[in-house]
Amino acid sequence: MKAAVLHEVGGVPRYEDFPDPVAGAGEVVIDVRAVAVENVDKMIAAGTHYASKEFVDRLPVIPAFDGVGELPDGTLVGFGRPRHPYGALAEKTVVSADAYIPVPTDIDPAVVTVLGTAINGMSVRTAAGFVPGETVLVQGATGVAGRLAVKAARLLGAGRIVATGRDDTQLREVGADTVINTAVDDDALAKAFTEAKGDGYDVVVDFLWGRPTEILLRSLIPDSFAFPKPTRVIQIGESAGPSIALAAASLRTSGIEICGAAKGLDADTMRASYEQVLAWTRSGELTFELAKAPLRDIEAAWQRTDLRGRRLVVVM
């Protein structure tokens, strides 16, 4: 079969022949149809993710860990956790019998691969307890997940949405009420956060961390004694940096509450979020911006820098 094969940590997968997978006991071979290439896939291949060693300690390997494909009987499924070294970026892969679920057949498989990214945006409800009318700040709205988070917040009934990122042009495309460019000096960014907050940010969906979030948290420290308005910060990504310096006053007097996106998740909330995203997709209320590429073009596609908020989806 043909596959995208990684031969060295930090390298670029190459389109080449690879032995076909053979199912063992309790496994099934899947004919892959579409795979979304996400930042985590590239981080693991580059050796910079905390889980990299688990996947790239033995090379060569096929990258990516989930996708959409067909079972031998033709059933369309979403799958995950292929058996090493068989990742998702191949014509075929092999997974355990409990690592796939049927997916809708009335939606383009390439779109189905991105539904999970949209569920990140649903953390405003599952992790933060969002209620309609609240103000939502999306940190990092120019990325795929950030753009979808803005759309999800709008569909859930946000009263006002503030979006941040390094590209004003993109920010004005995502549908936010107010945009903040993070590519300014610290004082200017702090001033922008203060001016945009109105009577306060109720929920912050954070894909950035690092410098922008550090400045945001400092900007929320009140100037005088007051009963603070709670601001629930949902930490999802770290594209601006893995750590911050957190002043005690940012927690003690600002009303900040910080948690991870996994808060509130269980089988029921995951199912409800998925069904909501699916309903919005079918109705056309939620749309996805994709950049499709055939598997044979994986080397060039892997290195693309012009995606501008579109998700790269490799199709077979």
pLDDT digits (tens, 9 = 90+) for 5-15: 999 999 999 99
Asked if residue 166 belongs to a domain, the reply is: yes
With contact defined as beta carbons under 8 Å apart, do 50 and 26 qualify?
no
**Rounded to whole angstroms, what are the CA distances from 90 to 64, 144, 198, 307?**
9, 23, 49, 22
- Whether residues 134 and 17 fall in one domain: no
Q: What is the pLDDT of residue 233?
A: 97
- Whether residues 244 and 133 fall in one domain: yes
Q: What is the pLDDT of residue 250?
A: 84
Spatial CA neighbour of 171 closest among 143, 196, 145:
143
Spatial CA neighbour of 4 closest among 86, 121, 73:
86
SS3 (DSSP) at 315: strand
**Exposure of 63 by Cβ count < 10 A (0-12 exposed, 13-18 middle, 19+ buried)?**
buried
- Whether residues 170 and 105 fall in one domain: no
- Whether residues 253 and 122 fall in one domain: yes
- Whether residues 183 and 101 fall in one domain: no
Asked if residue 276 belongs to a domain, the reply is: no
Q: What is the CATH number of the domain that holds 234?
A: 3.40.50.720
Asked if residue 54 belongs to a domain, the reply is: yes
Asked if residue 156 belongs to a domain, the reply is: yes
- Whether residues 311 and 242 fall in one domain: no
Asked if residue 269 belongs to a domain, the reply is: no
Taking residues 60-80, report their average pLDDT. Answer: 96
With contact defined as beta carbons under 8 Å apart, do 23 and 31 qualify?
no
- Whether residues 208 and 237 fall in one domain: yes
Q: Which two tokens stand for residue 227?
A: 């009963």
With contact defined as beta carbons under 8 Å apart, do 144 and 114 qualify?
yes
DSSP 247: -
With contact defined as beta carbons under 8 Å apart, do 35 and 67 qualify?
yes
With contact defined as beta carbons under 8 Å apart, do 150 and 163 qualify?
yes
- Whether residues 179 and 46 fall in one domain: no
pTM above 0.85, yes or no: yes
pLDDT digits (tens, 9 = 90+) for 182-231: 999 999 999 999 999 999 999 999 999 999 999 999 999 887 776 778 99
Asked if residue 142 belongs to a domain, the reply is: yes
Q: What is the CATH number of the domain that holds 66?
A: 3.90.180.10
Taking residues 305-309, report their average pLDDT. Answer: 89
- The amino acid occupying position 108 is D
Asked if residue 277 belongs to a domain, the reply is: no
Q: What is the pLDDT of residue 224?
A: 74
Round to whole Å and give the CA distance between 107 and 95.
Answer: 23
pLDDT digits (tens, 9 = 90+) for 224-260: 776 778 999 999 999 899 899 998 888 887 889 999 9
- Whether residues 82 and 204 fall in one domain: no
- Whether residues 297 and 250 fall in one domain: no
- Whether residues 133 and 234 fall in one domain: yes
Domain enclosing residue 303, as ranges: 2-114+288-315
Handedness of CA 265, 269, 271, 274 (dihedral sign): negative
**Overall domain count for the chain:** 2
Round to whole Å and give the CA distance between 314 and 9.
Answer: 21
Asked if residue 274 belongs to a domain, the reply is: no
- Whether residues 49 and 140 fall in one domain: no
